[in-house]
Amino acid sequence: MVNITIRKRPQTDAVITQRKFFKKTARGKVIKGKERYLRDDVSCGIQGCTACPDSARNTLPAAGDLAHNLFPNGHFLLPDTNVFLSQMDLIESNLFTSPIILLQTVLEEVRHRSLPLHNRLKALITADDKQVWVFYNEFRSETAIVRDEDETPNDRNDRGIRKGTAWYGTHITLSHRPIRGQPSRPSPKVVLLTDDAANRRKAEQEGLTCLSVRKYVEGMKEATQLLDLLSAAGGDEVEPTRSVAARSALYPEYLPSSTVMAGVKAGQLHQGHFNANQYNYLEGSVSVPAFTKPILLVGRENMNRSVHGDVVAVEVFPESEWKAPADEVVDQETTLKNDDAEDSEEEGEGDEVIDKERKVLGTGEASGRVAAERQPTGRVVGIIKRNWRAYVCHIDSTSLSSTHTTSLSLQTVFATPTSRLLPRIRLRTRQAPTLLSQKILVTIDKWDIASRYPEGHFVRALGKVESKEAEQESLLLEFDVPYRPFGKAILDCLPVEGDKWVVPVKSESSVEWRGREDFREMIICSIDPPGCQDIDDALHARRLPNGNIEAGVHIADVSHFVHPDTPMDSEAAARGTTVYLVDKRIDMLPSLLGTNLCSLRPHVERLAFSVIWELSPDAEIVNVKFTKSVIASKAAFTYEEAQIRKDDPNLHDELTESIRLLNSLAIKLKAGRMAAGALNLASPEVKIQMDSAESSDPIDVEQKQLRETNSLVEEFMLLANISVARRIQETFPQTAVLRRHMPPPRTNFEKLQDILKKRKGLALDVSSSGALAASLDKCIDASEPAFNTLVRIMATRCMLSAEYFCSGSVGRDTFGHYGLATPIYTHFTSPIRRYADVLAHRQLSASIDYTPLHATLHSKPHVERVLEVVNRRHRMAQMAGRASVEFYVGLALKGRKEKQGGQVREDAFVIRTFRNGLGVFVSKLGIEGLVMFKRDIQFDAENYTITIPASLPGTQDVTIAVFDKVVVDIEVEKDKNTQRGRVKMTLASPINSSAM
């Protein structure tokens, strides 16, 4: 027998040849990583380095940065992980120009800790105005380390960062040897930047140059501006504001993360998104699966430092403590207007603000509310995921120290977010006086248990209040809309021919023509809103010899140009959707594709993905075919032009007959949907009239007019989406990209049902979508034609939002679309402006064997991750679009007031009653507003009425109820403190409330 001796390599030698690592997946599985063999030729990145190969590619200047006060002989900056996690706004500033050495250890740790920050860091690496060199210290033999026994991953990374810093110091000394005959010059320093005091002590013991972020910034040329960018949570040297120091706790501490997760898993705690109340800043709610109604959080203590959008853990109180929401409008600015940003007194017992808030909460509890309106109540005991980001704010002028209004001394001030769902933010800045008339960006850093407000830092100014540029950028930032220009890597994915690209001549060798049908001679047209440039869809219809009808929907073949796993695809996935503002469009794809090569322009050959049906005269599907194609649209109509053409009795050409045929089928398709229980809901849509295309000054607002041709296009897009959904789900049952609309809980409609019953004697049946549709049709007031539309708008707000989902991630019984009354649905018809449609195109293409499906679309976790982003972007885009309309409606109202020389007066409907006001909806303008009363009024919560007592002898009391029609005066006023414009409404009829 042969003896075999096995010798294990000592751990001290392991680093020389390889590095093994273990990784824990999201599902808790531990996997072994790849072996990484080490080298000694990994470049330092410093220009002219004699010790490194290929130094011509290096980006860091030879002497580093010479402008810092502490390092006159030059220096390089080597930040640790926490600097990037806490101070990214500082490092991204164009005033922060220090050359940065980014260790691989730091880059990987940032990726594991925060993917959004990792993406921002990657953008910094490639930015033209930054000098960042990624040094792969884990691959260089002198800097790679192995984790010691009993050493935490964090300590191992800190040690690796210190070792990298030490190596750079030695390496620079060797590469900067004195030249004979020339005076010797000290080598540049390598500065380890860290706010970890323990790591700093160890670095100093090892002889390394080490500074905190604040100390480093104080020595920079632009220190005044850069110090404002420091995160309050970043370091241990920042003195707390006087208002936070030595103060008793206002809020309970959060439970440990392990306790929270165990409680959620056991069902003792409930997880959900925190939603702030736009009418009452002292109330919030959290929707959770365990209850049909949201959990109500009443009071500052129970909301426990939650910010709108945070994922929180909630403990539910006993049922005996459940209550109805308050019936009073509680405005944060009014209640807290006398609060001091830099208050030396304790915010605790005896505090004037707390006493006032308790009084408000007591008033809300005192009102007798019907038992049906009671909701579960609870308190937040932990934060699972913060939703903190940069917020658009204004500086509150009353929070400035009166003696410092013209100085640049450090002040603590309040930043008031433009969104009423957010709390005021405390920040320390030297620029407060110059920022008073500006819109600014502020990031929340922390919220201590002893502070009434979160603390944050100034990021940058956006521009002067009410300037269109500042308002537009602030709107995009407020709703987190990516609006950066497309980078070079993305533009390099476009066809090299640019706008000269054309569909090549048809031939067997042509890649574009492979497997495509030739529909260039077919009578096809598009019907879109006026000014549409990104034409996604076109249609055709013609009679067949057998008496049936052929109808086709032709969609831009975006997936031919946007390939998986490319920079352009990644950017489209990150943007998720095109965002439409009143006077601007933020494209998902570069304009060369969106408005040119993919857009189905008339009289131009374009690549398309076609869905062709054979339909019976009654619009029943006989068969359906999916095919890639080449089309040449014969016309691009607006809805109005297509309607006029259809209605003209003198026109009988093929194009007109095609439109009429499509319309007749659409009428039958819609009737079939309605019979199946589809809902005909409503939303307030208005059109902003501009002075001219160049000025973009709004002059008036009008309601959008919907024509038959709007319905024509809608019906065929729905039919295409349903047909495609069936096909891709059959082919890819685990990863099909679908869209669903869950049935709303019946409790969502309870209040609307009660109002309709008590105010109008009408019943609303919500047992099914069909029953709801039928009862909505019966909600008619003969004296007020707009009443039915109002009820439909209110019913729409009781619905859940539709969402994209991966077919293998949910039960088959939850696929349905409640509003459309279809068992399966997707989005396929708008790939130029929606990324979900691009994914559906790829899956449909694979299902007809045109192209193989990319591996990522076989991965359920990948599809889930992508659709989570797309769902969020879709919601944000909708909110940004509505906010843009509101802003321009405000401008139009101001213009109309100046032209008319008085207030704008419009009809409105009462949609909500409060103890101190009315919520009204102005249908003509598509906006809501509050009419507030300062004097006492009689409030009947059970019957949804308010009664205004007679103010003069001989006059009568005036009672106003929900659904009543009133007349309001509307004006846009600017708050002199926050600089925020707001729509102010007062009653003109049945009573003038201007003096009330």
Least confident span in 193-202, 545-554, 776-785, 852-861: 776-785
Supply the mean pLDDT for the chain. 86
Eight-state DSSP code of residue 253: P
149 and 159, same structural domain?
A: yes
**pLDDT computed for residue 645 by the predictor:** 95
Residue 748 belongs to some domain of the structure: no
Residue with tokens 């273990």: 22
Range of the domain at 976: 903-989
Residue 895 belongs to some domain of the structure: no
**Rounded CA gap, 402 and 409, in Å?**
12
Cis amide prior to 454 (ω within 30 degrees) = no
Residue with tokens 């309605």: 674
What CATH number does the domain containing 64 carry?
3.40.50.1010
- Residue 918: closest CA among 811, 990, 868: 990
Residue 775 belongs to some domain of the structure: no
Give per-residue pLDDT as tens, 99-116: 999 999 999 999 888 877
Mean pLDDT of 369-376: 71
CB atoms closer than 10 angstroms to residue 308:
18
Domain boundary among 387, 413, 448: 387
- Is the pLDDT at 359 greater than 80? The verdict is no
Domain boundary among 428, 447, 465: 465
564 and 421, same structural domain?
A: no
Overall number of domains in the chain: 5
Residue 760 belongs to some domain of the structure: no
What CATH number does the domain containing 461 carry?
2.40.50.700
151 and 126, same structural domain?
A: yes
Q: Which of the pair, 569 or 884, is modelled with greater confidence?
A: 569
869 and 908, same structural domain?
A: no
Residue 1 pLDDT class (50, 70, 90 cuts): low
Residue 774 belongs to some domain of the structure: no
- Is the pLDDT at 19 greater than 50? The verdict is no
Angle at 261 between CA 258 and CA 264, to 5 degrees: 150
CA-to-CA dists, residue 157 to 91, 103, 105, 233, 622, angstroms: 21, 10, 7, 21, 65
135 and 221, same structural domain?
A: yes
* DSSP string over 636-661: EEEHHHHHHHHH-TT--SHHHHHHHH
Mean pLDDT of 30-37: 59
376 and 408, same structural domain?
A: no
62 and 154, same structural domain?
A: yes
**Rounded CA gap, 908 and 968, in Å?**
7
**Rounded CA gap, 537 and 834, in Å?**
13
Least confident span in 316-330, 527-541, 634-648, 701-715: 701-715
720 and 610, same structural domain?
A: yes
**pLDDT computed for residue 702 by the predictor:** 67
Sheet with 958-961, side-by-side order of all strands = 938-940, 945-948, 958-961
Cβ within 8 Å of residue 183, ≥6 positions away: none
327 and 381, same structural domain?
A: yes
Helix/strand/coil (H/E/C) assignment for every residue in 213-226: HHHHHHCCCCHHHH
Q: Which of the pair, 389 or 909, is modelled with greater confidence?
A: 909
Q: Which of the pair, 682 or 874, is modelled with greater confidence?
A: 874
228 and 265, same structural domain?
A: no
pLDDT above 70 coverage of the chain, percent? 86
376 and 521, same structural domain?
A: no
144 and 55, same structural domain?
A: yes
